[in-house]
Amino acid sequence: MSTTTATETHTGHAEGHHDLGFIRTYIFSTDHKMIARQFLFVSLLFLLVGGILATMVRWQLGFPGQPMPLGGMLPDTMAPGGIILPEFYNSLVTMHATFMVFFALMPLQAGVFGNLLIPLQIGAEDMAFPRINMVSFWILPVAGIIMLASFFVEGGAAGAGWTSYAPLSSSGEWTGVYMGQILWLVSLTVLGFSSILGALNYVTTVMNMRAPGMTWFRIPLATWSLFVTAWLLLLAIPILTGGLILLTFDQTLGTAFFRPEGSGEPLLWQHIFWFFGHPEVYILILPAMGFTSEVIANRSRKPIFGYHSMVIAMVAIGFLGWIVWGHHMFQSGMNPLLGMTFVVTTVVIAVPSAIKTFNWLGTLWRGNIHFDTPLLHAVAFVSLFIIGGLSGIFMASAPVDIYIHDTYFIVAHLHYVLVGGSLFGIFAGITYYYPKMFGRMMNEGLGKVHFFLSFLFYNMAFFPMHNLGVQGMMRRIYDPNQYEYLQGLQPLNTFISISVFLFAATQVIFAFNFLWSLRAGKEAGRNPWKSNTLLWATPSPPPHGNFPEMPIVNRGPYEYSHPDHDEDFWPQDDPPATSGSGGQPAASPTPELVPGD
Amino acid sequence: MSDAAVATMDRKPMPGMKVYNMKLGMWVFLLSEVMFFTSLIGSYIILRFAHPDHWTDPGVILNVPLTALNTFFLICSSVTMVKAFAAIQQGDQKGLKNWLLATILIGAAFVGIQVIEYAALSGEGFLPMLDAYHAVGRGNPHEGPSLGGPLYGATFYSMTGFHGAHVSLGVLCLIFVYFRARSGAYTEESLAGVEVIGLYWHFVDLVWILLFTIVYLI
Amino acid sequence: MTEQEHAHPRYILIWVILLVLTLAEVGYAFMDLPKLMLAVGLIIMAVWKAVLVAMYYMHLRYEPRRLWILAVSPIPLAILLVLAVITEF
């Protein structure tokens, strides 16, 4: 079990599967592992798009009114002479967030790792509905092309913010954007189906296709996180879809669901959007929490501290996430009594996240820590998520939020949880699971350089934003210097912009490492991290059908450094300890398969 | 448990939800549909609370008797659907086909009647858009005063329209299932396709039961 | 399955109940009662019909308990959203 041989990396097709040809293997594949790779490549491209849009935003804020390098390539409707127009700036902030949230962070977590990890970690041969899985992937590039196309229509891309508040978004009169807004709405409506179909696949698979012995409390935390995420997607996305459709009617048919001139209610849009939008942020963070748990336990060679409480905390976040949405609306003019309720619920939801944070720290404590790249990213996740969570506590208080709402304090918070949190968590996931996906290790040296530079530049860019916000700089503003009291902040803005550019440039190292290692990385073997989950019981990459026969699970996923076992890891499907080996077995043997799970 | 016993253990997945994958998948999908209709119906409820003057008493603009009949039809189609399923549970292929066909015809009739209703309503000036709304009500002259307000029209058409779209999609799926039944695809052991389209169809009926009440009677 | 055979004759009975409730609803809607009483009564009847369809035609009554717990799970969420936002107006 502790040694791997070169032959185990062979990407064999399981016996009985005929050669499907190029199209069925690489384009229209129903194999969850290929679909995971497809999601990975497409989402990384969209991550690049979102990143480019961000650098353009930061150019304007860092070097206001100056021609942007390569800006001459842009049409005059966007940036005449390379100088970004205010209307284009609004589109940039809108589309940066839209691409990052919907086309990068969601598919990178739910799409890539939901597909890769769920069947393999529970011992299934594929998802419950492989063809629906394929459709779920293909919707992503289609929706993405619609969204990209919106830049090139008359009036440009949507410019009402990623939250698309009415009445700014319900009519082109005020933003000057007509078709672009409609395409934004259509693209996201289409994309919603990808999430819903994917979510129902994940839920069905986890509920019904676990290998014998894989009880609920033996499921690895990565799969648990994706399971909770799937439920949130399933129930939240349709709400957004309904709202998007009504807003599209306002834009195209002349209805007045959200338009005040027709007795419509702009606040209704905000409620619909955030009822989706808050579960959405947990969709964006939970999988990263899952990967972090896996990596920290494995690289510390210790069981995760408080596995049961980790599961319960994630489920609690899933539940509580539904009743906090109003904290995005404290300044909207909403009913203050309703607002007070949201203050209470929002403060409460900090608790399960805090439990998870303490458990990660407890796992690291006195562990035999291997400081390789995945672990570095996972620890960065924890520390940066703490900062993001702490700033969140400030916002949870409605009176404090009066001062900081729609300022850069919020921008700092959301980037700490989404970049410091989700993105570093994604890096942890990619560097950790890359060997299983591609059969090769990423380069450790490059990985560490990428990590340290990213961590440094990231904090240089985003920590000062707390400062900007408290000093009164508002969000989504093209020219803060129009206000005298903000003019003194320009040096800080320029510093932030340069840090962002350096952070962006650092990602080239990651891209190079990723692509180079596909061909030239060290061969990984079956279980390079000496992990316990069923995922690592298969070859790297696994063949069609994943397992020659369904594995039998005899213990939980975190039996690292068990006192009764020689090795410092104990795979879930290893046979139960026989009574003669001294001491108690690691866990109860496979329970009888009777109702009650 | 000895290694030998473990090795020969029956390798079946955990019992899970104790219903087969396709049925569980359809139920899970229907949950997302509940949330979708919630956003539409919820918007209606909220807008009505905010602007009750946009609504009239029941029956003033909308044709309650015709729609009550349509509701009866849809309920009948649920019965024919469940009888189709009961037939294939007994292996009755002829019964399956006939009851499926009945469901398709009644479902199509429901959509047809809705289309006729939409035509009549728009002819009377009951429309979803702000500028064009001038609903004179049933049996009133075209030059009469406008009753209610455009929010009534907008919410009416969005709720019933998406429901109608779901019914239409259901009819198309039923036609697909019908042709598969004709080619003998279903048996007593292999009837998942019939059961899951049945679940979808009953769900569409269930949503209509709620919609009819909320939209036409309140 | 014996439960299905047991359920089979019920389909027509449920159909009749649904019809009666539909007629009752239409009749009730046009009675001269305060708005609130009308709304509550109609919703009770509508929900009753919906539950009958779910339990008997969708077979929830005969499915494992865990399935119907799953099936009703979004309903509290739906109610929550609507009630919370109504407080705005």
ipTM comes to: 0.94
For chain A, the domain total comes to 1
Size of interface A-C (CB pairs under 8 A): 22
Span B4-32, average pLDDT? 84
| Beta carbons of B16 and A210 less than 8 Å apart | yes
Give the integer Cα–Cα distance in Å for A192 and A570: 40
> What residues contact residue A465 under an 8 Å CB cut-off, 6+ apart?
A408, A409, A411, A412, A415, A496
Provide the chain B residues 35-74 that lie in CB contact (below 8 A) with chain C: 35, 38, 41-42, 45-46, 49-50, 58-59, 64-65, 68, 71-72
Contact B17 C39 (CB under 8 A): no
* A394 neighbors A459 (Cβ within 8 angstroms): no
Among C8, C19, C46, beta carbon nearest to B72: C19
What Rg value do the Cα atoms of chain B yield, rounded? 22
How large is the angle between the packed helices C74-86 and A221-252, nearest 10 degrees? 50
CB contact under 8 A, C78 and B35: yes
Chain B nearest C-alpha distance from C32 (Å): 12
pLDDT at site B3: 52
Q: Chain A: nearest CA to B36, how far in angstroms?
A: 5
In A, minimum Cα distance to C67 occurs at: A207
Contacts A549 to B, Cβ<8 Å: 11
Residues of C in contact with B49 (CB under 8 A): 86, 89
B119 touches chain C (CB under 8 A): no
Task: Tell me whether residues A271 and C85 touch, CB distance under 8 A.
Answer: yes
C71 to B206: CB separation less than 8 angstroms, yes or no:
no
Say if B102 is an interface residue toward chain C (CB within 8 Å): no
**Segments making up each domain of chain C, as ranges:** 2-64
State residue B212's pLDDT score: 96
Q: Interhelix angle for A307-320 vs A266-300, to 10°? A: 170
Q: Is residue A501 part of a domain?
A: yes
Angstrom distance (rounded) from CA A471 to CA A476: 16
Q: Do A338 and C87 touch (CB under 8 A)?
A: yes
Q: Which candidate in B28, B29, B82 is best for mutational testing of the C interface (most C CBs within 10 A)?
A: B82
Q: In chain A, which residues have their Cβ closer than 8 Å to the Cβ of C71?
A: none
Q: What pLDDT, on the 0 to 100 scale, is given for residue A579?
A: 52
Domains and CATH numbers, chain B: 11-217 (1.20.120.80)
> Per-residue pLDDT averaged across C37-59, rounded?
95
Q: Does C76 touch chain A (CB under 8 A)?
A: no
pLDDT at A592: 46
DSSP designation for C59: -
In a domain, A75, yes or no: yes
Residues 6+ apart with CB under 8 A from B204: B74, B163, B166, B167, B170
Interface check B109 vs C, CB under 8 A: no
Facing A246 at nearest CB: one of B2, B7, B158: B158
Question: Which pLDDT score, from 0 to 100, does residue A597 have?
Answer: 42
> Scanning the structure block, which residue is given the tokens 């494995």?
A298
Given B28, B46, B82, which is nearest C85 (Cβ)? B46
CA distances to A140, A324, B156, B160, C75 from A242, rounded to whole Å, are 19, 20, 14, 13, 17
Say which residues have a Cβ less than 8 Å from residue B161's Cβ, sequence separation at least 6: none
Question: What are residue A263's phi and psi, to 5 degrees?
Answer: 65, 20
Residue A577: its pLDDT value, please?
Answer: 81
pLDDT tens column, B81-118: 999 999 999 999 999 999 999 999 999 999 999 999 99
Q: What is the pLDDT of residue A395?
A: 94
pLDDT in tens, C73-85: 999 999 988 888 8
Best of B22, B35, B48, B162 to substitute, by most chain A Cβ atoms within 10 angstroms, is B35
Q: List chain A residues with CB under 8 Å of C77.
A: 235, 322
CB contact under 8 A, C45 and B213: yes
Q: pLDDT tens-digit profile of B151-199? A: 999 999 999 999 999 999 999 999 999 999 999 999 999 999 999 999 9
Instruction: Let me know: does A218 contact A555? Beta carbons within 8 Å.
Output: yes
Which residues in chain A are closer than 8 Å to C78, comparing Cβ atoms? none
Task: Please report the pLDDT score of residue A18 as a whole number.
Answer: 58
Residuewise pLDDT in 10s, chain A (597 residues)? 334 333 333 333 443 455 778 888 888 999 999 999 999 999 999 999 999 999 999 999 999 989 999 999 999 999 999 999 999 999 999 999 999 999 999 999 999 999 999 999 999 999 999 999 999 999 999 999 999 999 999 999 999 999 999 999 988 887 889 999 999 999 999 999 999 999 999 999 999 999 999 999 999 999 999 999 999 999 999 999 999 999 999 999 999 999 999 999 999 999 999 999 999 999 999 999 999 999 999 999 999 999 999 999 999 999 999 999 999 999 998 888 999 999 999 999 999 999 999 999 999 999 999 999 999 999 999 999 999 999 999 999 999 999 999 999 999 999 999 999 999 999 999 999 999 999 999 999 999 999 999 999 999 999 999 999 999 999 999 999 999 999 999 999 999 999 999 999 999 999 999 999 999 999 999 999 999 999 999 999 999 999 999 999 999 999 999 999 999 999 999 999 875 444 444 454 454 444 444
Phi, psi of A476 (to 5 degrees): 55, 40
List the single residue in C26, C64, C73 with the smallest CB-CB distance to B19.
Answer: C64
Q: What is the residue type of A338?
A: L
Q: What is the sign of the dihedral through the CA atoms of A410, A465, A164 and A321?
A: negative
- Report yes or no: B200 and B176 within 8 Å, Cβ to Cβ: no
Q: Does the CB of A275 have a partner CB in chain C at under 8 Å? A: yes
Q: What is the mean pLDDT of residues B42-66?
A: 95
CATH of the domain at A168: 1.20.210.10
Chain C neighbours (≥3 Cβ pairs under 8 A) are A, B
Of A450, A576, A457, A543, residue with least CA distance to A14: A543
> What is the span of the domain harbouring residue A323?
48-551
Which pLDDT does position B10 carry in this prediction?
67
The verdict on a CB contact (< 8 Å) between C87 and A326 is no
Chain B residues whose CB is inside 8 A of the C12 CB are 79
Sort out which chain B residues have CB atoms less than 8 A from A251's CB and list them: none
| Distance in angstroms (rounded) separating the CA atoms of residues A371 and A119 | 29
Chain C interface disruption, residue of A338, A340, A597, most C CBs within 10 A: A338
Subunits adjacent to chain A (3 or more Cβ pairs under 8 Å): B, C
- Confirm whether pTM is higher than 0.80: yes
Q: What is the dihedral of CA B36, B38, B43, B48, to 10 degrees?
A: 150
The whole-angstrom distance between B88's CA and the closest CA on chain C is: 12
Distance from CA of B147 to the nearest CA of A (A): 15
Which residue in this structure is represented by tokens 């006939």?
A: B98
The per-residue pLDDT for A595 is: 46
C74 touches chain A (CB under 8 A): yes
Contact A184, A150 (CB under 8 A): yes
CA distance A144 to A150: 10
